[in-house]
Structure 1
Amino acid sequence: MSDERRLTQYAHGGGCACKIPPGELEAVVRGLTGRAPVSAEGELLVGLDDGDDAAVVRIDGDRALVATTDFFTPVVDDAYDWGRIAATNALSDVYAMGGRPIVALNLLGWPREVLPFELAAEVLRGGADVCGSAGCHLAGGHSVDDPEPKYGLAVTGLADPNRLLRNDSGRAGVPLSLTKPLGLGVLNNRHKATGERFEEAIEVMTTLNAAAAEAALAAGITCATDVTGFGLLGHLHKLARASGVTAIIDSAAVPYVDGARASLRDGYVPGGSRRNLDWVRPHADLDAVDEETTLLLADAQTSGGLLLAGEIPGAPVIGELVPRVDGKTIVLA
């Protein structure tokens, strides 16, 4: 990057940690469910009801359209890396539904009188490179003059409507697997505060979930979600609630990025992680785990992995789904 400005200093938050808190978001969209359009094309298979990762509409017997969008403020200072991370994160929602991305559009907000457009070009180059590696067309988009820099994609994909991954199809007796380590939120928060660069975190955030989704479909898995701004606990709560089960998590089995626990101890905890924990706490039994670990389990991830109700090669099993226990969606062990 030719410009030495730190992009994270131009935004109040960073990455998926700047999401609207899940409880507030659910209150906002509550009245939007159950509204059928007039003379609609196709059949809506997945919509707002359970807060899944993307919308899915059946086109015909063996094809479904998957639609999603995701954008956020800078999570790292390097413009090219931010573009790669944001694009990888946006494509993840299609993979989390068992689909493959076909075409994407750029979404760019840029403080044109504050930051040079050379940096914006680097952001877009990063997004284009990720889409290229994913086999996804990148065809235009939309931009606005914005006080804070923001970037992401609107993505359309295709899936087999009879082989979707969705968050409401979990069943008791199935193991839970996680395909990427946690701790990205605290490391990104430390990066924003200190400028330290964490190569492993960038590698994790720029790794596509394509192979994990393909392996999940090959294994016959039907229930999944990706772990992003609401943290493992937040996304797991939504999955267990939608599926009518309880998730038992073996806290010692959950993997973390190197340096995550040390960064948390040093106080680099995103506000989004604390809000995630506050939202989940009434619905979970967290007593068996110390507060530090619980915060990491709620850590607001950016471009995290897939949480699968099932097993695939290379992904650690971190727990299991059981029949609903005492009204709780999550029990930590």
Structure 2
Amino acid sequence: MNDHPRLTSLAHGGGCGCKLAPSVLRELLAGQPVAQAFPQLLVGTETSDDAAVYQVDENTCVIATTDFFMPMVDDPRAFGRIAATNAISDVYAMGGRPIMALAILGMPIDKLAPEQIREILEGGRDICHQASIPVAGGHSIDAPEPIYGLAVIGLCHPSELRRNADARPGDALILTKGLGVGIYSAAIKKGALDQAGIDEMVASTTTLNKVGTELAKRADVHALTDVTGFGILGHGLEIARGAGLQLHLDQAALPLLSRAAELAEAGFVTGASVRNWAAYGAEVALPEGLADWRRHLLTDPQTSGGLLVAVAPEAADAVLAQIRAAGHPLAAVVGHCAAGEAGISVD
């Protein structure tokens, strides 16, 4: 394995930091026809939600999503595990139960050994096994940079569908995982993160968001989304815009990976973090004099990040306890929703 190039050296970006900037994506999707001719399409592109949802009968909705990216770690199996966890998360973020996945693979076959590519695929299958779903097929191409991910199909009852646009005024906001994945990946790319830090990041990014399926069974959980490439601010804004609400985040309450603040202050940030702020900073009110590195914690692109949960305030403590018991010890109440012009303020 030591004779082969580092996976991260073959990619110009990594993880969900590869995503197009939010402003670019909105420009590309502008003018796309609304799917009014398909009344059973309950969720399409209108609210920037996590997956498409199609109702097939009174008891069943089909959830469909796809997600793939370039490596953010050098270990092939870890890359496969992270990419698969990230892709499956979109189904959990809609309140669904995944049932099947298809692999998406693009590899520079002249640069990587077959055993490296096999390890990536096996890592993805490991996670699908944890999620109790098969990898039922897929598609592969010869590509200049390594790319891997999944298309995932899930199911839910219509009453358990959770859109990101259904938050309500007064709802408490819970974040289930620590922030800082993009900051860690920037340090990895520069060879500045020790093995303990890499292990911490991999552990977080390979923890399935299965709790989303159970949360959607609760009437007091109103909205779900997963926090990925646009950072906590960007995905919070998707809730704010969709629901027509003002989100208030308590910066001190946001959970972080153990070295995220230290590394951000030392300058380990991604280009995606800068692009994120340029795309949506006008919709965010920050505390006066906030240091740039602290802002980067808010715009940091997460790969396989946590769920952002909007829950009735009287149920927040119970829901937080349920999330922690499901294997998310860093979960915390990080803010609330209020009536007002769509946007975010950070205290």
**What TM-score bracket applies, with the shorter chain setting the length?**
over 0.9
Displacement over 6 Å in runs of 4+ = none
Report what 1:270 is aligned to: 270
Match of 1:318 among 324, 327, 334: 334
Q: Does the CA contact (< 8 Å) of 1:163 and 1:222 recur in 2?
A: no
User: Which amino acid counterpart does residue 102 of structure 2 have in structure 1?
Assistant: L
Identity rate, percent: 45
Cα displacement string for residues 31-73 of structure 1 (whole angstroms, at most 9, x for unaligned residues): 2231456xx6x70000000110000000101110000000000
Cα displacement string for residues 262-316 of structure 1 (whole angstroms, at most 9, x for unaligned residues): 1112211101111111222111111344332221011000000000002322331
Per the alignment, do residues 35 and 58 of structure 1 end up closer, same or farther by CA in structure 2, a change over 3 Å counting? closer
Structure 1 unaligned spans of 5+: none
C-alpha distance in structure 1 between counterparts of 2:243 and 2:299, whole Å: 20
C-alpha distance in structure 1 between counterparts of 2:209 and 2:3, whole Å: 31
Q: Does the CA contact (< 8 Å) of 1:67 and 1:155 recur in 2?
A: yes
C-alpha distance in structure 2 between counterparts of 1:243 and 1:291, whole Å: 29
Q: Does the CA contact (< 8 Å) of 1:75 and 1:188 recur in 2?
A: yes
Q: Does 1:305 align with 2:302?
A: no
Report what 2:172 is aligned to: 175
Cα displacement string for residues 193-212 of structure 1 (whole angstroms, at most 9, x for unaligned residues): 11634211110000000024
SS of residue paired to 2:217: helix
Cα displacement string for residues 88-142 of structure 1 (whole angstroms, at most 9, x for unaligned residues): 0000000000001101000000001111121110000000010011011211100
Report what 1:252 is aligned to: 252
Q: Does the CA contact (< 8 Å) of 2:244 and 2:342 recur in 1?
A: no
Deviates more, 1:26-35 or 1:151-160: 26-35
TM-score of the aligned structures, taking structure 1 as reference length: 0.95
Q: Does the CA contact (< 8 Å) of 1:33 and 1:48 recur in 2?
A: no
C-alpha distance in structure 1 between counterparts of 2:302 and 2:229, whole Å: 5
Q: Does the CA contact (< 8 Å) of 1:205 and 1:304 recur in 2?
A: yes
Q: Does the CA contact (< 8 Å) of 2:161 and 2:216 recur in 1?
A: no
Structure 2 unaligned spans of 5+: 325-330
Deviates more, 1:72-81 or 1:283-292: 283-292
Q: Does the CA contact (< 8 Å) of 1:69 and 1:90 recur in 2?
A: yes
C-alpha distance in structure 2 between counterparts of 1:304 and 1:151, whole Å: 17
Match of 2:90 among 90, 93, 100: 93
C-alpha distance in structure 1 between counterparts of 2:128 and 2:2, whole Å: 23
Report what 2:346 is aligned to: 332
Q: Does the CA contact (< 8 Å) of 2:267 and 2:293 recur in 1?
A: no
Per the alignment, do residues 158 and 2 of structure 1 end up closer, same or farther by CA in structure 2, a change over 3 Å counting? farther
Per the alignment, do residues 6 and 208 of structure 1 end up closer, same or farther by CA in structure 2, a change over 3 Å counting? same
SS of residue paired to 2:167: coil
User: Which amino acid counterpart does residue 19 of structure 1 have in structure 2?
Assistant: K
Q: CA deviation at 1:162?
A: 1.6
Deviates more, 1:234-243 or 1:257-266: 257-266
Report what 1:296 is aligned to: 297
Report what 2:227 is aligned to: 227
User: Which amino acid counterpart does residue 241 of structure 2 have in structure 1?
Assistant: R
Deviates more, 1:299-308 or 1:270-279: 270-279
Per the alignment, do residues 286 and 213 of structure 1 end up closer, same or farther by CA in structure 2, a change over 3 Å counting? farther
Deviates more, 1:174-183 or 1:156-165: 156-165
Q: Does the CA contact (< 8 Å) of 2:104 and 2:150 recur in 1?
A: yes
Q: Does the CA contact (< 8 Å) of 2:89 and 2:209 recur in 1?
A: yes
Report what 1:139 is aligned to: 136
SS of residue paired to 2:137: strand
Q: Does the CA contact (< 8 Å) of 2:247 and 2:345 recur in 1?
A: yes
Per the alignment, do residues 123 and 176 of structure 1 end up closer, same or farther by CA in structure 2, a change over 3 Å counting? same
Write the mapping of 1:159-238 to structure 2, written as runs, cut at 5 A.
159-194=156-191, 196=193, 197=195, 198-218=198-218, 220-238=220-238
Q: CA deviation at 1:5?
A: 2.9
Report what 1:57 is aligned to: 54
Q: CA deviation at 1:328?
A: 4.9
C-alpha distance in structure 2 between counterparts of 1:144 and 1:243, whole Å: 40
Match of 2:104 among 93, 98, 107: 107
User: Which amino acid counterpart does residue 110 of structure 1 have in structure 2?
Assistant: M
How many residue pairs end up in the alignment? 328
TM-score of the aligned structures, taking structure 2 as reference length: 0.91
C-alpha distance in structure 1 between counterparts of 2:292 and 2:173, whole Å: 22
Q: Does the CA contact (< 8 Å) of 1:184 and 1:300 recur in 2?
A: yes
Q: Does the CA contact (< 8 Å) of 1:91 and 1:155 recur in 2?
A: yes
Deviates more, 1:65-74 or 1:294-303: 294-303
Report what 1:285 is aligned to: 285
